[in-house]
Amino acid sequence: MKYISLFVLTTVIFFAIDMVWIGGIARNFYREKLNFVFTGEVNWIAAIVFYLIYIIGILYFVIIPGFTHHDWKTVLFNGAFLGFLCYCNL
C-alpha cells in the first residue's frame, strides 16, 4: 500500500510540474524549436506508456532509495543521474 501511495503522490506532483513546464514556461520554445515533429494530435498511448515508465523510474531510482537510506545526497545524486540519463543528448 505504501508503494501505491508513493506512486499516486509522485504522479500528481510530476504532472503538476510537467503541466506548468509544458503548458506555460516552455510552450513557445517547444513550438518554435520542435515544430517539425508536432502533428497537432496527441498520441495518448505513447504518452501514457512514457509517463508510467518515467514515474516508475523516479520511484525506483530516487524516491524509494531516499526513504530507504534517509540521505538527501543519495536522492540528489540519483535524481540528477536519472535526469542525465533521460535527457542526455550526446
> What are the tens digits of pLDDT across the range 50-70?
999 999 999 999 999 988 888
Instruction: Note the pTM of the prediction, 2 decimals.
Output: 0.77
How would residue 89 be classed by pLDDT, with cut points 50, 70 and 90?
A: low
Q: What is the percent of the chain where pLDDT is above 70? A: 98
> What are the tens digits of pLDDT across the range 31-54?
787 778 777 788 899 989 999 999
Where along the chain do its domains lie? Answer: 2-87
Helices 44-58 and 72-87 cross at an angle (nearest 10°) of: 150
